[in-house]
Structure 1
């Protein structure tokens, strides 16, 4: 972060606290008693008479010694190069024809065997590095980066078009902002949180980038690499050995199969979330350590001056403020983690949760009014329904479809449950070794409160696991390596431990599970060249507007097509989900829907959507060909585009009437200003400024009478402002719901 911190020896887990008193990290035996007895009343530390047997040398290795390759290091480096060659060279030979042969297990069903062997060798190399007595930082880092690139860059390299339909749709948000410079909440609920799209459009225009398809191609790999930076910062807060830290980050990488890393507000705000919790736990935990029969699982707070802490506080506030207008869910997870850390005594920013709660409430109550106004019960009716939200997000997604493809869904459940079970075991093993873990427990289990909000379109389980993963992965690393390794006894135990073998087995399971869970949906999440050509045809014929009918098994809940939709002209193209007949002979309903859609309407039969219906719903493998044959027999229809991936129809005789003009709705933000709303808005501005100043004073000003007076007076002044704001929000929700 560019802040001056004390340089620590490799393997040392204690840093200087606020009082600049070194701490001895030893078990609570005779060594701990002697360590504490060596600290005098004045805080001075007496030098020990002689180093304990087996203690690490007082002088660190020179840079030349650290860079000098060892024979095992050379061997492992060669094995790493071999793993990458085995992984990538055969995979580069895959073409569109090979990808078309994917089965119910997805991409792994067509990957060459050498590629799978290369993936396993990546795991072997990393686990072997954990067995070494010395920390090979460079080789560990290179293996970790190679693993991230290999896992997440594979579709970007072998597929012709960038993957995932929703990533293409998000390009349409940028296109609209670039053309009009505005947001239109009536077009899509995501326009009530336009922050990510506005910033992305500004950056793209500033850089002169007009075609963003390559951006969405490489975005998942890039953002996964960026996730590592805050994770490396986060592990500095752990009182753990280097093996546990590296293993925790490694498990995080191997468990990143949730698939929210595409070009989206969620993928970007997740990066902000990781940076938020890392800064919070490294610099803003309670500075004092209470000695008892159990030690805190966290290391001492990194030393920082008051000016530096004030800057870091503003960074925290900025990170949170950036997520509020960008995503619906992430600010609530940030707020929950911070509030619980304050409650369990692991954060000294006691007033920050109130500030953040006010900011979220103001944005939802005022700026996101189009999102909840008029359908309040539909949006918030699931609040408190934990059981229904869990069942919708887990068992509700494993229904019907191909029996082979169901293995992908079961694999996801088993992987998530396995990582969480390993995290619980890590907490137990740390407890058994006289360490108490609180911060990581908060990071792991606070996201589960999301089940009490709503099902989030059936995706809440995936989001909960994604937000729980940083804490769960680090606890899983502690399950394998619970000792800190700073005493001779612990280092002796580590030398004969079989934990690296357990890490190898866990890594192989997670690697194989990743390839199934992450790329199991690739048969229909992959974007085909013919589908891109078909959408370009639609955009060329969308003047003044066009209706595009696509096949869905559920026109109410399943409204996201598997196609590169919405990348342009989002206000001109209306995507109409149309019920796909289970019997392909019954095409009269499709013809009627096309007539009801009006003039300038098209019906698209595309390969990705058909594959989804076959794998996830259970339509037969011959359904597409029979459907197209029956549509060809209808005299009312004519084909306007045919290629290897798409067949598109329209009516020979267009229905009477004019083609409707696009009506995107009023420009946002749409705020209904009543007298109560005006008063509440003014109170919100004053309250946010006062609470922010209060936290800055708490951190930047030395404790004393003046600081205490300011904190007390600002608290009492903020209460009436808070009451006015709450009354205004209640009035808005009650009158406009």
Structure 2
């Protein structure tokens, strides 16, 4: 029950894994998947029914849709961002390739643990079921990672007890570890420009939380924003990317943001952080010039005033 209430995907992953282990005869009691399925259905029918009314689970199902959202739509942006994405994909594919070799090696030696293999493969059943905002492949990779890593490490282990590797084998092991280390650091911290928040950005968030009255809307440039940590139910949270999914130009996006902000009974606060703006620029959705023109347009509108600013953030108050 705790897993069902904690995350949208984890209970489905648990159900798939339990079912796979049960069908293979590696899990007892066999009624455990049934219990997990009943708990999941009860959660969806009752506590989660309001959310599901506007978010059908299979609304964007399909392999082609999943590939476009998780692969095609992510391979765009600045050259540096594309390099980071390519390194992440390469790291994942390299790890899966090593896992495949390790699985074959264990099978040849008669020591393959079918449970590890099932738990490594089972998450991929989720991939065509839901694009998950373009993050399903990432989630699938994370669910499978412990078991994929276990099979991949089998390639690096000695074949027999007492085996002493040659200098060539030892050198290959060292080079492999160095390659993984470099790719991991690059893939993890390559997007730090919008993954890491400064003290000034956190101060701007605190200022907005203090200024915004209940019922007001808080609008950020993009989703990499450290907000919603207090008074979550008292505000409406939107992003410029949500309000203007097709065009972020001042002529098109400006009126949409301004109109949305003005129609809130308690007004709105436009939060422009260095990190969230960098996210839009790095991922190729706009340019620094385009964002500057959008901000200048909004700044000249009736009822808009600069309420807070520092080196990494600006907050505009929009009167109702």
TM class by shorter chain equals 0.7 to 0.9
**Take 1:595 and 1:331, find their aligned partners in 2: how far apart are those partners?**
40
Any idea what the Cα deviations from partners look like across 1:67-105, whole Å, max 9, x if unmatched? xxxxxxxxxxxxxxxxxxxxxxxxxxxxxxxxxxxxxxx
Partner of residue 571, structure 1 = 233
SS at match of 1:380: coil
Q: Which residue of 1 aligns with 2:87?
A: 411
* Residue 71 of structure 2 corresponds to residue 394 of structure 1: yes
| Corresponding residue to 1:379 among 51, 57, 64 | 57
Instruction: Label 1:460 to 1:582 Cα distance change in 2 as closer, same or farther (>3 A).
Output: closer
Whole-angstrom distance in 2 between the partners of 1:358 and 1:587: 45
1:343 to 23, 28, 33: 23
> Which sits farther off after the overlay, 343-352 or 606-615?
343-352
8 Å CA contact 1:585–1:626 kept in 2: the answer is no
- Looking at structure 1, the residues matched to 20 and 170 of structure 2 have their Cα atoms a distance apart, in angstroms, of 34
CA distance in 2, matches of 1:533, 1:544: 20
How many angstroms does 1:647 deviate by?
1.8
CA contact (8 A) 2:212 2:269 kept: no
Q: Whole-Å Cα distance in 1 between the matches of residues 277 and 302 of structure 2? A: 23
**Residue among 11, 14, 35 paired with 1:334:** 14
CA distance 1:538–1:498, change in 2 (3 Å): same
Determine if the alignment matches structure 1 residue 359 to structure 2 residue 39: yes
Which residue number corresponds to residue 202 of structure 2? 532
- TM-score w.r.t. the length of structure 1 is 0.40
* Residues in 2 aligned to 1:618 and 1:538: alpha-carbon distance in whole angstroms: 26
Structure 2 residue 312 is the aligned partner of structure 1 residue 645: yes
Equivalent residue runs for 1:595-606 within 5 Å: 595-606=262-273
Is the 8 Å Cα contact of residues 443 and 470 (structure 1) preserved in structure 2? no
Does the 8 Å contact 1:547/1:574 carry over to 2?
Answer: yes
* Count of matched residue pairs: 315
Query: In the superposition, relative to structure 1, how do residues 332 and 587 fare at CA in structure 2: closer, same or farther (>3 Å)?
Result: closer
Q: Give the equivalent residue in structure 2 for 1:690.
A: none
Q: 1:434 to 1:365 in 2, by over 3 A?
A: same
Unaligned runs of 5+ in 2: none
Choose from 300, 306, 322 the match for 2:2: 322
Q: How does 1:716-735 map to 2 (within 5 A)?
A: none
Equivalent residue for 2:178?
A: 508
**Which piece of structure 1 moves more, 408-417 or 574-583?**
574-583
Give the CA deviation at 1:429: 1.6
Matched, 1:478 2:158: no
Post-superposition offset of 1:331: 2.2
- 1:607 alignment partner in structure 2: 274
How far 1:597 sits from its partner (Å)? Answer: 3.4
Contact 2:98 2:155 in 1 (8 A): yes
Which ranges of 4 or more aligned residues in structure 1 deviate by more than 6 Å? none
Give, in angstroms, the shift of residue 425 of structure 1: 0.4
The alpha-carbon deviation at position 601 of structure 1 amounts to 2.1
Asked which structure has the greater CA Rg, the reply is 1
Provide the C-alpha distance between the structure 2 equivalents of 1:606 and 1:567, rounded to a whole number of angstroms: 17
Go from structure 1 to structure 2 and tell me whether the alpha carbon gap of 1:330 and 1:585 turns closer, same or farther (over 3 Å shift).
closer
Work out the CA distance in 2 between the residues paired with 1:497 and 1:437.
30
Alpha-carbon distance in 2 for matches of 1:583, 1:375: 29
Instruction: Spell out the pairing of 1:109-258 with structure 2 (5 A cutoff).
Output: none
- Using the size of structure 2 for normalisation, the TM-score is 0.87
Instruction: Write out per-residue CA displacement over residues 617-663 of structure 1, whole angstroms, 9 at most, x where no aligned residue.
Output: 24223444454445455565321112111222235xx44xxxxxxxx
What is the root-mean-square deviation in Å for CA atoms of aligned residues?
A: 2.6
Aligned counterpart, 1:469: 145
Higher RCO, Cα 8 Å, sep 6+: 1
Instruction: Kindly indicate whether the alpha-carbon contact (under 8 Å) linking 2:274 and 2:313 is maintained by their aligned counterparts in 1.
Output: yes
**Aligned counterparts of 1:453 and 1:415: Cα–Cα separation in 2:** 24
Residue 427 of structure 1 pairs with residue 103 of structure 2:
yes
- For the pair 1:448 / 2:113, whether they are aligned, the reply is no
Structure 2 counterpart of 1:522: 192
**Which shifted more, 452-461 or 593-602?**
593-602
Give the Cα–Cα distance (whole angstroms) in 2 for the partners of residues 453 and 587 of structure 1: 32
Query: Are the equivalent residues in 1 in contact too, given 2:69–2:131 (CA < 8 A)?
Result: yes
